[in-house]
Amino acid sequence: GAVVSQHPSRVICKSGTSVKIECRSLDFQATTMFWYRQFPKQSLMLMATSNEGSKATYEQGVEKDKFLINHASLTLSTLTVTSAHPEDSSFYICSAPMAEKLFFGSGTQLSVL
C-alpha cells in the first residue's frame, strides 16, 4: 500500500511553545490530507482537511488560529500547534487519500507539560 510518513512520533514540550508535525506522502501525490486527533481510549476525530494551495477546512469546534495547517506541496502537509497547553496533549495522526482508500501516518504523541 501507499506510504505516509509522519514526524515526530513523540514530542514533549513546555506550555506556551509551538510544535510542528509533518505529514508526507512518500510515493504518491496528495492534494488533500486529513488531520485527526485521538484522546486516550477514544476514537479518531477529524480536526481539519488540508488542501494543497488553499486554506484548510476546519471542523466545528477546532480553533484555526491554534492549529495552523499548511499544505505547501503535493506531498507535504504540516500541523502546527501554537501556544500549546496541557489540554492539547493528545495523539495526532494524518492521512492521505489514494483513490478510494486512505493511508495513515504513524501518528504523533504530543505531551504538553
Partner 1 sequence: AQKITQTQPGMFVQEKEAVTLDCTYDTSDPSYGLFWYKQPSSGEMIFLIYQGSYDQQNATEGRYSLNFQKARKSANLVISASQLGDSAMYFCAMREAPNSGNTPLVFGKGTRLSVIA
Order the strands of the 67-73 sheet from edge to edge: 4-7, 19-25, 76-81, 67-73
Chain positions contacting partner 1, by CB under 8 A: 1, 31-32, 34, 38, 42-46, 49, 51, 91, 93, 95, 97, 99-104, 106-107, 109
State which residue, 44 or 76, has the beta carbon closest to partner 1: 44
- The x, y and z cell numbers of residue 99, run together, are 483513490
3-class state of residue 84 by DSSP? coil
3-class state of residue 85 by DSSP? coil
Residue matched to cell numbers 486516550: 40
State which residue, 7 or 101, has the beta carbon closest to partner 1: 101
CA 82 to chain centre: 13
Q: How far is the CB of 102 from partner 1 (least distance, A)?
A: 5
State which residue, 78 or 105, has the beta carbon closest to partner 1: 105
State which residue, 15 or 27, has the beta carbon closest to partner 1: 27
Which alpha helices (H) appear in 1-113, and where do they start and end? none
Q: How far is the CB of 16 from partner 1 (least distance, A)?
A: 26
Q: How far is the CB of 11 from partner 1 (least distance, A)?
A: 14
